[in-house]
Amino acid sequence: MGSLSDFIEQYLRQMLAAAGTNAIEIQRRELARIFRCSPSQINYVLETRFSNEQGFIIDSRRGGGGYIRIRQIPFDGSLLEFIEEMTEGALSSQEADTLLVRLQDDGSLDEHSAAIIRTVLYRQTETDGGGGGDDDCDSEDDMNDVLRAKVLRAILEVMMALNE
């Protein structure tokens, strides 16, 4: 069973899908009432599950008639440019997962492929001790982040080439 944050996220994503547009408006207080939680729980979900990195813009107005507007940012430019920008330099495991979720949400990546990529990234960076050998890295974590970005970028570029 998922957490309350998972349920709130799922509810908001379903609202976005049902709206047929890239935006929805909701009242924080009403959403908190529906889920029987505090408005700060809603804020937490918005901050952690609907960030710019995840492809969303949140507009908020507090007060009695306040609202929250959630807008999904469409890809502008090519998918390859987006991937190159996101995987430039280093990428934490959380950032890599966020990118994979965004690509799934956009329809550019299916769940099966994302699961395979996650497994490869985990095995290459979490259990292998890095192995990137990059002299610009100060720690093993930094080496893993650089390696993760390189591996993810290479995998996605190959997948895109095969799908063309």
Give 141-150 contacts, CB < 8 A, sequence gap 24+.
142/90, 145/90, 145/91, 145/92, 146/89, 146/90, 148/90, 148/91, 148/92, 148/93, 148/96, 148/121, 148/124, 149/87, 149/88, 149/89, 149/90, 149/91, 149/96, 150/87
Query: What's the CA gap between 39 and 65, in Å, rounded?
Result: 14
- Specify the higher pLDDT residue, 35 or 52: 35
Query: What's the CA gap between 95 and 58, in Å, rounded?
Result: 19
The predicted pLDDT at position 132 comes to: 46
Q: Is 136's pLDDT higher than 80?
A: no
- Specify the higher pLDDT residue, 137 or 39: 39
pLDDT, tens digit, 9 for 90 and up, residues 64-118:
667 889 988 776 666 777 777 777 888 888 888 888 988 888 788 899 999 999 9
For 50, other C-beta atoms within 10 Å of its C-beta total 20
Confidence of residue 2 (pLDDT cuts 50, 70, 90): confident
Q: Is 6's pLDDT higher than 50?
A: yes
Share of the chain above pLDDT 70, in %: 86
